Chain A
């Protein structure tokens, strides 16, 4: 059994070399498709992760009806005893300006603005970030005396989450399209190779070759084709991504894309190889059904 498999494996290597030599363009096409997929995947997941980060509501703000420190202290003590409130902190107008300047250091002229433009507020840290919990705190806090408005930016969070979900739908659609492209390229590459060996296959069939004898070398051939196309695309991607990210994107303020993990590369490589083998099986079986007898042209 082992010697049979070794024999078919060696024939598979030969088929791969011949496919590569006679149809190098298909190999390049495969490398390009997989390379493009890496780019779309990184862009999609990076954008989604960034939007998810933006949509995390860490705090709830309670804006006061007037900037009176005594009323603020009363509201603060009332807020602290609300359910699901972990902590609450009062920011006077002075503190609010300092907070804004600290969080937006590059905003020109912010420091020169008067404190009057910065309303005082109480920042609530909830015990958890569940939307229901946040909504309940907002509802209870907004009924307190001296409170003008309570918000955690729900409308923005909803928008970000919608865009983030859209990014995942985009990744899914792209995955299907790229998988179909890989199937198409490998199916046709194998089919071309089969036609190249049409007479040989007919002769093998005549002398009593079983279907696995003809099929298995093409499965190995497609496996090598997929695997090496993947490795090439991964190397090119790694070589291109890191310099582009560190020299172009990050200096431009876009620091949201990261190199995918090893798990991503392993899983996607296995999937590409499986797609390759299945495409090859489909191509070979359909060829064997169509191929005419040795006695017919």
Chain B
């Protein structure tokens, strides 16, 4: 599903965001990427959705070698990946419905058709009643649920979550975790960058710990 072989990422000035990373994540896994700020968690996720190319090493996602992938193929990879950010990355002046619809627009889907896909999903994340509300009027927890809905709208095979609960209280964080864990049941792989220890203790799963761009621990929570 996702495989990193000797992957390294260096930025201008020689800063090494990732160094010799070797990881394999299988379908249906729920994986936490943990580590301090600047450890390379976000860089790790960006590599998977081809927002960044590695300086060294090989990354394969869904059997495709990202180094060999042409620019024109990147959108088709991204359609299989849902991404959730700590700061939501929503369009504040659009409604909840329209924000989620962004993921369907690329398939030239009409509004009436889109409703059939979006409404059940909004019900699932508990945002159906607020589907016509403008996003800027929502709370942080609600915004994150919209972001989750947008990430899930195309039934992605991989869900990348970059600190999705970072701005949320415990109740909202647990709601998001519940939705993400439900995705595992449908066969999706969830890779979540976080340093929320409480959540990890409550929902134990495989943890990959990064420090200064290197993997220092990889294993199930109970093994660590």
Contact = CB atoms under 8 A, between A and B. Distances in A.
Contacts of B91: 199-200, 203
B30 interface: no
A209 B75 contact: yes
B51 A295 contact: yes
B83 interface: yes
Interface string A182-199: 000000000000000001
Nearest to B90: A203
Interface in B37-67: 42, 46, 49, 51-52
A207 B79 contact: yes
Query: Which of the four size classes fits the interface of chain B?
Result: 20 to 34
Interface string B76-104: 11110001010001010000000000110
A211 B78 CA distance: 13
Nearest to A5: B108
A101 B42 CA distance: 95
A243 interface: no
Contact of A293 (B51, B76, B102, B106): B51
Contact of A207 (B46, B51, B52, B78): B78
B102 A207 contact: yes
A213 interface: yes
A208 B78 contact: yes
Given A293-B51, A293-B52, A295-B51, A206 B83 contact: yes
A106 interface: no
A65 to B, nearest CB: 86
15 contacts: A199-B91, A203-B89, A204-B105, A204-B106, A206-B83, A207-B103, A207-B106, A208-B76, A209-B75, A293-B46, A293-B51, A294-B51, A295-B42, A295-B51, A295-B85
4 closest A-B pairs by beta carbon, nearest first, are: A208-B79, A208-B78, A7-B108, A208-B75
Given A204-B102, A295-B42, 13 more contacts: A199-B91, A200-B91, A200-B102, A202-B89, A203-B102, A206-B49, A206-B78, A207-B106, A209-B75, A210-B72, A213-B105, A294-B51, A295-B51
Interface of B: 42, 46, 49, 51-52, 72, 75-79, 83, 85, 89, 91, 102-103, 105-106, 108, 150, 154, 162
